[in-house]
């Protein structure tokens, strides 16, 4: 996509959100159906994903792991955000790879050690680009990618989260 095309697409949305801030508040939703053998089927916009236990938690390793999916969401969001920012700034990226890795201690997930966290201890995001952009342009690109990547910001800053439930009779 060219810079002008992206700006043309986003301009009316930006104006709408300036004029009516409430119209910018969108609720995204995801839903999964519990399955047999400790699985959960997630319907994405394009496919059906079946998630299960990671090998380190007793799974067979044949199904998607939710930890992997979290990292994949980060990579996808960072990649799309970086592409949009590069396009908006007119920075030509010939090629690029976004990678994420995270450290988990499965003692926490399996309740083996109370002090071990059940979540990621650390997540690292790597951006490898093929570009003629200057160091200043790259600094701006990465700073703005970090600033506007929804998943990155959510993970970095945390967000309020809670669980509610309902029970239906079998």
Predicted confidence (pLDDT) per residue in 52-95, tens digit: 989 888 888 888 889 999 999 999 999 999 999 999 999 999 99
Query: Cβ–Cβ contacts within 10 Å for residue 86, how many?
Result: 23
Q: So what's the pLDDT on residue 141? A: 96
Class of domain 65-157: alpha beta
User: Is a pLDDT exceeding 80 seen at residue 30?
Assistant: no
Q: Is 155 exposed, middle or buried (0-12, 13-18, 19+ CB in 10 A)?
A: buried
The helix/strand/coil state of 133 is coil
The conformational region for residue 109 under phi > 0 = left, psi -120 to 50 = alpha, else beta, is: alpha
Cα–Cα distance for residue pair 139/143, rounded to 1 Å = 6
Average pLDDT along the chain: 90
Cα–Cα distance for residue pair 93/1, rounded to 1 Å = 12
Cα–Cα distance for residue pair 100/16, rounded to 1 Å = 34
Global pTM reads 0.85
Are 35 and 50 in contact, with CB atoms under 8 Å apart? yes
Q: So what's the pLDDT on residue 33? A: 79
């Amino acid at each position: 996509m060219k810079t002008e095309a992206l700006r043309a697409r986003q301009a009316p949305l930006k104006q709408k959100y300036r004029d009516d801030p409430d119209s910018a508040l969108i609720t995204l939703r995801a839903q999964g159906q519990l399955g047999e053998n400790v699985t959960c089927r997630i319907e994405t916009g394009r496919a059906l994903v079946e998630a299960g236990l990671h090998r380190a938690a007793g799974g067979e390793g044949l199904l998607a792991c939710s930890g992997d999916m979290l990292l994949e969401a980060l990579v996808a969001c960072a990649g799309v955000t970086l592409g949009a920012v590069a396009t908006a700034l007119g920075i030509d990226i010939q090629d690029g790879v976004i990678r994420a890795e995270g450290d988990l201690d499965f003692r926490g997930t399996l309740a083996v050690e109370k002090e071990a966290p059940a979540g990621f201890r650390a997540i690292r995001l790597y951006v490898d680009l093929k570009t003629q952009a200057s160091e200043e342009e790259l600094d701006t690109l990465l700073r703005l990618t970090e600033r506007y990547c929804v998943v990155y910001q959510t993970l970095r800053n945390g967000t309020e989260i809670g669980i509610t439930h309902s029970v239906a009779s079998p």
